[in-house]
Amino acid sequence: MVTDMKESLLSKLTARIQEQLVVNGITDFRIADGNFHFANVDDKSRANAIIRDYLTYLLDKDAECLM
Instruction: Work out the pLDDT band at 18, boundaries 50, 70, 90.
Output: very high
Decide if 13 contacts 66 (C-beta within 8 A). Answer: yes
Q: Where are the domains of the chain?
A: 2-66
Residue 22, pLDDT above cutoff 70:
yes
pTM of the predicted model over 0.75:
yes
Range 42-50, long-range pairs (CB < 8 A, 24+ positions): 47/21, 50/20, 50/21, 50/24, 50/26
| Alpha helices for the chain (secondary structure H) | 2-23, 41-60
Residue 19, pLDDT above cutoff 70:
yes
